[in-house]
A = this chain, B = another copy of it.
Amino acid sequence: MNNTTLKQIASQLGISITTVSKALKGYSDVSEKTKKAVIELANKLNYTPNSFAVNLRTKESKTIGLIIPTLVHDFFSNVIQGILEEAEKRDYLVIILQSNEKLEFEKKQIELLLNKRVDGILISLSNETGEFEHLKTILSHNTPLVLFDKIAKLVNCSKVTINDRKAAYDAVSYLIKKGYKKIAHFRGSYLPQNSIDRFLGYKKALEDNNIIYDPSLVYVCDNNMDFENGYENAKKVVTEHPEIDAIFAVTDLVAIGIIKYFNEVGIAIPQKIAVLGFSNWFMSSVMSPKLSTVDQPGFEIGRKSASILFDEINLKKNNSPVIFQSIELETSIIERDST
């Protein structure tokens, strides 16, 4: 076991711990000779600083925490990759926790991270999260916090999102331009900001194009916006509203559920009903028919969120004032075979 300490090096060399420490950290007030000797011995003994001691001394953990609703998720996997890449650059490690879309877990995970004294926290909120005391707790600990994707507008911290409203608006406008007139929307549950915004964009696009908004064409996918939801609601919508010619789904997963049902019962996509997704999951590109969708830059969202968080961590370290940012990343429509 590698347990070399400064003390050991110091005693072997017959010098003080301080000098060893300084030599290893490249301080200028150490003679070349001793510096060389120290470094040599340190290498030989395979010295690595005890991070526990360093943490205690410097009061930083060189670790950030990340809380996401769920891991088995194309979008979030990409986000994580972006975060890990930024963290790696800065020699930071990332502790990942899931909220499972539950407020209760989200609270618990925050507590764990705070107790661990991570240097900063990244969160994409659960669909249940409608109160924000736990987020304010983070702020009151003076721990930098960046919210991404599913955010709380009311919480005073940096945020990284896409413009869900505009993206949805563009998506539905695109459908209208393609000639679809009776467009249903499978929306997410009522809490997450992005599902609200996508709905709002849908509605606005209809109105701006002189299509009367019909609330009965809006179906709620509240079970984590998943595949089953899409499947079940697709079944419903074709009985209740056989007249529709397109569906705008809040998420690719929902869209894929729709497609599966339509394929099973022989509803032609897009001839009879077009389907437009949201997120651009990898799997969308290998479906039959290939799903048209809105590209949501997960990797970039992760990178940007982490990058802002690290900036704030550094500013805090220098006691500089931090200005919270709200970044909106660009989206684009990926036209494939389902529209």
Q: Which residues of A contact B (CB under 8 A)?
A: 1-2, 48-53, 55-56, 59, 61, 63, 71-74, 77-78, 80-81, 84, 91, 93-98, 112, 114-117, 140-142, 227, 256-257, 259-260, 263, 282-283, 286-288
- CB neighbours (8 Å) of A1 from chain B are 140-142
Cross-chain contact B63 with A52 (CB below 8 angstroms): no
A52-B117 in contact given A1-B140, A72-B78, A287-B286 (Cβ < 8 Å): yes
- CB neighbours (8 Å) of A77 from chain B are 71-73, 77
Work out how many copies of this chain go into the complex.
2
- CB neighbours (8 Å) of A74 from chain B are 72
- CB neighbours (8 Å) of A259 from chain B are 286
Q: In the complex, how many angstroms separate the beta carbon of A183 from the nearest chain B beta carbon?
A: 23
A72-B63 in contact given A117-B50, A140-B1, A286-B227 (Cβ < 8 Å): no
- CB neighbours (8 Å) of A282 from chain B are 72, 227, 283
Cross-chain contact B63 with A71 (CB below 8 angstroms): no
Expressed in whole angstroms, the Cα–Cα distance for A142 and B80 within the complex equals 30
Pick the contact of A112: B52, B93, B256 (CB < 8 A). B93
15 contacts between A and B (CB under 8 A): A48-B114, A51-B116, A52-B59, A53-B56, A55-B55, A55-B56, A63-B116, A72-B77, A72-B81, A77-B77, A80-B96, A84-B98, A227-B282, A257-B286, A287-B287
